[in-house]
């Protein structure tokens, strides 16, 4: 858990600026990922929350064209895995820090992956900043009432 600032921090704005490099990975191979996750499993971790800018991006595309980072964690350890990253949105959080609007998108891809147990749980960040009723609207199939994410919603954090 961390404390959320009321506006994007300098570091977050820097991440959104032109010099970012998101090619870096937590681990370069599934084997390397397995090695450091094993330490956390051994220490008693109950769940892994593996953040990605976009949940649909494969973690190791050279091996599997679909499986995301939470999916790999679950596959490698059997531990509960939580995914996050642009759920229901067209653009990632760094683009939003940079001032871009992210459009609402369908949840079909997410549901497909949940149904095949790629991961167990789903976290959402910006959708709840934009609209505290997001989950209710999804549950009640009122998704057309969900607005696009506008970066001004960052200012609602307090």
Ligand X SMILES: Cc1cc2nc3c(=O)[nH]c(=O)nc-3n(C[C@H](O)[C@H](O)[C@H](O)COP(=O)(O)O)c2cc1C
Which residues are at the interface with ligand X (CB under 6 A)? 2, 4, 8, 51, 84-87, 89, 93, 124-127, 154
* Cα-to-chain-centroid distance, residue 12: 16
Tell the smallest beta-carbon distance from residue 144 to ligand X (Å): 20
- The rounded distance, in Å, linking the Cα atoms of 94 and 158 is 20
Tell the smallest beta-carbon distance from residue 138 to ligand X (Å): 13
**Judged by CB, which is closer to ligand X: 33, or 84?**
84
**Judged by CB, which is closer to ligand X: 1, or 43?**
1
Q: Which residue has the tokens 């959320």?
A: 4
Partners of residue 149 on adjacent β-strands: 102
Instruction: Report phi then psi at 3, rounded to 5.
Output: -85, 130
Tell the smallest beta-carbon distance from residue 52 to ligand X (Å): 8
Q: Which residue has the tokens 């709840």?
A: 128
- Give the count of beta carbons closer than 10 Å to the beta carbon of residue 80: 16
Tell the smallest beta-carbon distance from residue 2 to ligand X (Å): 5
**Judged by CB, which is closer to ligand X: 4, or 26?**
4
- Residue number, nearest CB to ligand X: 125
**Cα distances (Å, whole numbers) of residue 78 to 27, 75, 119, 120, 123:** 18, 6, 10, 11, 19
**Judged by CB, which is closer to ligand X: 33, or 87?**
87
Partners of residue 104 on adjacent β-strands: 89
Is 120:134 a contact under the CB 8 Å cutoff? no
**Judged by CB, which is closer to ligand X: 78, or 119?**
119
Tell the smallest beta-carbon distance from residue 63 to ligand X (Å): 23
């Amino acid at each position: 858990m961390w404390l959320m600032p009321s506006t994007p921090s300098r570091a977050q704005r820097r991440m959104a600026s032109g010099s970012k490099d998101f090619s870096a990975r937590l681990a370069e191979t599934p084997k390397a990922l397995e090695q450091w996750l094993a330490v956390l499993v051994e220490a008693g971790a109950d769940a892994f929350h593996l953040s990605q800018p976009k949940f649909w991006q494969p973690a190791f595309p050279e091996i599997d064209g679909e499986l995301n980072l939470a999916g790999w964690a679950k596959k490698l350890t059997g531990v509960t895995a939580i995914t996050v990253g642009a759920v229901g949105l067209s653009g990632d959080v760094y683009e939003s820090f940079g001032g871009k609007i992210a459009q609402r998108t369908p949840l079909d891809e997410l549901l497909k992956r949940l149904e095949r147990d790629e991961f167990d749980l789903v976290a959402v960040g910006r959708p709840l900043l934009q609209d505290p009723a997001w989950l209710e609207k999804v549950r009640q199939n009122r998704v057309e009432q969900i607005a696009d994410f506008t970066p001004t919603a960052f200012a609602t954090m307090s």
